[in-house]
Amino acid sequence: MNYVINMIGICGSVGIAIAFIPQTYKTITSDDNHSVSFAMIFLTFSSSICMTIFSIYYLILPMIITNISVLINTFIIMVAFIYKKNNSTQ
């Protein structure tokens, strides 16, 4: 039974990890940044840092997978957002 629960956790974490990829792709390829809330992305990034530290400390694999993926995707979105915002004002 423990194996089944672990697999459910890993499947859920992979699903959440994959869910961020379309938004990351859209942010990178689109010229429109107005639909992206920088405050929400920054809050998600900050929360993901905290949850990554927590999950690594307690060695919770599904949370590690999810939060590292969210951390990477939100970092990419923040960088693209800032880059596009700086280039659109010039």
The secondary element (H helix, E strand) that includes residue 23 is helix 21-29
Confidence of residue 89 (pLDDT cuts 50, 70, 90): low
> Phi/psi at 45 (nearest 5 deg)?
-60, -50
Sign for the CA dihedral angle at 35, 19, 79, 83 comes to negative
Confidence of residue 58 (pLDDT cuts 50, 70, 90): very high
pLDDT tens digits for range 2-56: 999 989 999 999 999 899 899 899 989 988 777 888 999 999 999 999 999 999 9
Averaged over 57-84, what is the pLDDT? Answer: 93
Give this prediction's pTM.
0.86
